[in-house]
Amino acid sequence: MRKYFGTDGVRGRVGEFPMTPIFAMKLGWAAGKVLGAEGVKEVLIGKDTRASGYMLESALEAGFSAAGVNVALVGPLPTPGVAYLTSTFRADAGVVISASHNPFDDNGIKIFAQGGQKLTDDQEHEIECWLQVAIDGGMSCVSSAKLGKARRIDDAAGRYTEYCKANLPGHLSLNGLKIVVDSANGAAYKVAPAVYSELGAELISIHDTPNGININESCGATNLQSLCETVLAHQADLGIALDGDADRLMMVDHTGTVVDGDELLFLLAKDAKALGYSGGVVGTQMSNLGLEQALAGLEMPFLRAKVGDRYVMEQLKATGWRLGGEGSGHLLSLDHASTGDAIIASLRVLSCLLQQGTRLFDAKQGMHKLPQTLINVRYTAQADIDPLETDQVQAAVALVETALGQDGRVLLRKSGTEPLIRVMVEAVDAHQAQHCAEQIAKALVN
């Protein structure tokens, strides 16, 4: 069992253990010890726009240097951009300082291998072993001659912008499309507007002025109200929302209706099928039943992985399939990007729409979602009590499952990044889904 790494790296409230500069330095050292022994000579470090990113960047740089690993700093850049540039600049591994969709006073540290591949569980476990050595006072330093060196890469954003643009086929253009882009005041605040405007779109850019504390604040892929309103106010063709580190994509059609990750994954799968793709699709336990049903209509196999894009990726590797994702907007199209990339995923959707001569509103009609209610219940961890195993929670779940029968689903899971229990209920009727989810949520807090 990993102690510090969750489903998406190490994450927490800034200034509280483990998200402190001392911990970050020791994590950098521990990662340097493990990865250095595997032949890693240079690590590329990027971050989102949180004010705490500067502090954690310096601490990680010190830790890696003490372990004898060189560091290349790229500044604010989307997580998939760091993954891409890790290969472009021939770095051996990458690090992103970001808490993704979380509020600004959280932050996180994600470490991945070249090409954006997640570290294996075994690698993370070994890093945690060395990390404990450092925490216990055993952190050492290589000799002065072997210290890692640091360099700053100034043209990183421009290189990644060009890479993204290349994912729209050369015979296509966004000319004639009016697009609203919400960058969540996050890592893509420069790159995203540049990509769509340089490809010809009439662009309305919102939430693109980060100040260190407004990342994800009432904006981005986790709060779509302002995007919906702007699409309607400007009579735009569609809206695109990214999260703080731009690995999640949500879209809005011209009617102001949200098109989520499950629906976008269906559009990508349908297009891939038409182009001869013979593989299947990997979703998660949270994927809407409507996606599974729509893919069955296309005669495409579908598998559910555990929640988290790392587990979707594991299933893709195991099956050899190329498409997967989550309703939250993590989309994996391995023929076009090695990791979840919101900008590239949006360009793949736009390519589908342009080549079919259709609108997002019409294209999504092939999938009919079941009403799904998700309630997040915050809890205080107690070593001897699992809130999911209490008698009242078990009884509430049994009661709801009996009421739903074969026409719905219940899923309870702990978040891998926050002290939350996510209660999900699907039902044919939205009111029933809401009522059932509230029953279970109430049992969790009693």
Residue 127 exposure: Cα atoms within 13 Å on the Cβ side: 31
The residue assigned the tokens 């996606």 is 291
Q: Measured between alpha carbons, how far is 72 from 53 in angstroms, rounded to an integer? A: 15
Q: Quote the tokens at residue 126.
A: 């070994």
Q: Measured between alpha carbons, how far is 30 from 24 in angstroms, rounded to an integer? A: 10
Q: Measured between alpha carbons, how far is 291 from 301 in angstroms, rounded to an integer? A: 11
Query: What is the identity of the amino acid at 51?
Result: A
Q: Residue 351 to residues 247, 252, 289, 418: CA-CA distances in angstroms?
A: 19, 16, 26, 36
What burial class does residue 236 get, using C-beta atoms within 10 Å of its C-beta: 0-12 exposed, 13-18 middle, 19+ buried?
Answer: buried
Q: Residue 394 to residues 58, 148, 400, 441: CA-CA distances in angstroms?
A: 47, 53, 10, 12
- Nearest CA-CA partner of 411 in 304, 309, 286, 260: 286
Question: What is the DSSP code (8-state) at residue 221?
Answer: G
Please, what is the end-to-end C-alpha distance for the chain in angstroms? Answer: 29
Q: Please, are residues 252 and 361 in contact by the beta-carbon 8 Å criterion?
A: no
- Nearest CA-CA partner of 99 in 197, 204, 191, 8: 8
Question: What are the residues facing 111 on neighbouring strands?
Answer: 95
Out of 52, 65, 98, 100, the active site residue is 100
What burial class does residue 75 get, using C-beta atoms within 10 Å of its C-beta: 0-12 exposed, 13-18 middle, 19+ buried?
Answer: middle
Which H or E run contains 325? strand 323-325
- Asked about 58 being catalytic, the answer comes back as no
Q: What number of other Cβ atoms are within 10 A of residue 294's Cβ?
A: 23
Query: What is the identity of the amino acid at 395?
Result: A
CA dihedral 135, 382, 439, 414 (to 10 degrees): 30
Q: Residue 282 to residues 119, 269, 322, 339, 414: CA-CA distances in angstroms?
A: 20, 10, 9, 14, 21
Q: Measured between alpha carbons, how far is 213 from 199 in angstroms, rounded to an integer? A: 30
The residue assigned the tokens 């699992």 is 386
Catalytic residue positions, numbered:
100
